[in-house]
Amino acid sequence: MAMETGLIFHPYMRPGRTAKQTFEWGVQNSVACDKAGFTSMMISEHASQIWENIPNPELIIAAAALQTKTIKFAPMAHLLPHQHPTKLAMTIGWLSQILEGRYFLGIGAGAYPLASYMHGIRGEDQETERLNDRVRESLSIMEQIWKREPFFFEGKYWSAGFPEEEEALTEEDEQHKLANYSPWGGDMPEIAVTGFSKNSPSMKLAGEKNFKPVSIFSGIDALKQHWKIYSEANIAAGFTPDRQRHAVSQTVFCADTDAEAKSEVMNGPIGYCFNKYLIPIWRRFGMMDGFAKDAGIDPADADLEFLVDNVFVVGSPDTVVEKLNTLFEQCGGWGTLQVESHDYYDDPSPWWNSLELIAKEVAPRVKLPGATAVAAENVAA
């Protein structure tokens, strides 16, 4: 099976962009990706970062719902410790209904301490295990809300319930029944979680719960370890791991020639974002280490050009296909490439062209290793 293409919208808008511009750029990307044949669009949720300034991804998803036809959407991710589970369950369920199933749910605990502080979480309560405890309690409450069965729960962090509904005996009674905010089809939406660090606990959680694993690319070793952690936990929980469900977020840019693609990345919005924002963050928190190890260099020597040449997937369609197939052979492959979005709001034409090339000229030529052999065996059988 060929690789699918998706977009992850962080959105990496340069400081100074208005909320309206960020919102417009999000909706414009959803429409362009839908037309190009992308299968999914993930939209981040952040309360504190000026470069990642979308506190309500569901608003962009709702605005895009009636302007798109086939693409699926996900908040990536709703930060469960920051919201009341009942309100979030109703929002998720209703949006899933609006999209008639073109929806899956990304969940997370929150990576930025300032955002947690803004939601009343500080000190020891910001430790990973305590935040994950909030995630577990929140998800449990949401699952019960979606079942629409009577309960009342007084938890460690929240209290919530679903009232017992009296039987409707008359036509007037029918007018006062409880609204149904369960997800489309009545079932739980598919749930996805992201992981970045080599030994990401999120990958273990995803495997145990059979959630969709989403890796933020941080080097070959980390990507291989992500799948190892996920698949082992998935098997131990009685499931069968499927690489087609695995999504990997990566910086990808495609143009007609290699030279054109590299120049656009080095001198355009992607390069600006990395020089001003992402490279300093990666160096500060050791996030450059995996990339440097893959190339055998000192992390201090890893600059933008190093990333463009050795880490990002940049080039003509043929070059991008070759780079992705090489990555697939090295790590075992994945199902969906989530292209990281950038701020081409002022001149979107290079970005639209890149999305079209990735979806139509690159993705069909990238397949999971062994997929051809498996298909042949199935035909023979």
pLDDT tens, position by position, 229-257? 999 999 999 999 999 999 999 999 999 99
The CA-CA-CA angle for residues 63, 68, 72, to 5°, reads 90
Using the structure block, give the residue that is written with the tokens 């999305």: 355
pLDDT at 371 over 90: no
pLDDT at 373 over 70: no
Higher-pLDDT residue of 376 and 125 is 125
> Do 158 and 141 touch, CB atoms closer than 8 A?
yes
In 4-104 the beta strands, taken as DSSP E runs, fall at 4-9, 40-43, 72-75, 78-79
Q: How close are the terminal C-alpha atoms of the chain, in Å?
A: 18
Tens-digit pLDDT profile for residues 157-212? 999 999 999 888 999 989 999 999 999 999 899 999 999 989 999 999 999 999 99
Nearest to 101 by CA among 136, 54, 65: 65
> Do 339 and 298 touch, CB atoms closer than 8 A?
no
| Cβ-based neighbours of 200, under 8 Å, separated by 6 or more | 226, 229
> Do 265 and 354 touch, CB atoms closer than 8 A?
no
DSSP for 232-269?
HHHHHTT----GGG-EEEE-EEE-SSHHHHHHHHHHSH
Q: What homologous superfamily is domain 4-380 in, according to CATH?
A: Luciferase-like domain (3.20.20.30)
**What pairing do the DSSP bridges indicate for beta strands 40-43 and 78-79?**
unpaired
Distance between CA atoms of residues 199 and 131, nearest Å: 18
pLDDT at 377 over 50: no
Higher-pLDDT residue of 380 and 140 is 140
Distance between CA atoms of residues 183 and 189, nearest Å: 6
Distance between CA atoms of residues 304 and 312, nearest Å: 10
> 177-216 in b/e burial notation, b at 16+ Cβ within 10 A?
eeeebbbbeeeebbbbbbbbbbebebbbbbbeebbbbbbb
pLDDT at 368 over 90: no
pTM beyond cutoff 0.85: yes
Band of pLDDT at residue 378, cut at 50, 70 and 90: very low
Distance between CA atoms of residues 157 and 252, nearest Å: 40
At 107 the pLDDT is 97
Q: In this predicted structure, which of 37-51, 52-66, 323-337, 365-379 has the lowest mean pLDDT?
A: 365-379
CA 70 to chain centre: 18
Band of pLDDT at residue 138, cut at 50, 70 and 90: very high
Band of pLDDT at residue 214, cut at 50, 70 and 90: very high
Nearest to 210 by CA among 244, 245, 239: 239
At 370 the pLDDT is 62
* Beta-ladder partners of 194: 214
Q: How crowded is the C-beta side of 104, counted as CA atoms within 13 Å?
A: 17
Distance between CA atoms of residues 263 and 86, nearest Å: 48
Q: Compute the average pLDDT of residues 24-52.
A: 97
* Beta-ladder partners of 360: none
**What pairing do the DSSP bridges indicate for beta strands 159-162 and 151-154?**
antiparallel
At 285 the pLDDT is 86
51-54: list long-range contacts, CB under 8 Å, 24+ apart: 51/10, 51/12, 51/13, 51/14, 51/15, 51/273, 51/277, 52/10, 52/11, 52/12, 53/11, 53/13, 53/17, 53/19, 53/22, 54/9, 54/10, 54/11, 54/22, 54/26
Tell me the pLDDT of the chain averaged across its residues.
94
Q: Compute the average pLDDT of residues 308-328.
A: 97
Q: Compute the average pLDDT of residues 255-261.
A: 98
DSSP for 132-146?
HHHHHHHHHHHHHHH
At 161 the pLDDT is 98
pLDDT at 326 over 50: yes
Q: Compute the average pLDDT of residues 94-121.
A: 96
Q: In this predicted structure, which of 31-35, 165-169, 321-325, 343-347 has the lowest mean pLDDT?
A: 165-169
Question: What is the helix (H) or strand (E) element at residue 356, kind and residue range?
Answer: helix 349-357
Distance between CA atoms of residues 40 and 329, nearest Å: 24
pLDDT at 139 over 90: yes
What sign results for the dihedral spanned by CA atoms 313, 317, 319, 320? Answer: positive
Question: What is the helix (H) or strand (E) element at residue 226, kind and residue range?
Answer: helix 220-236
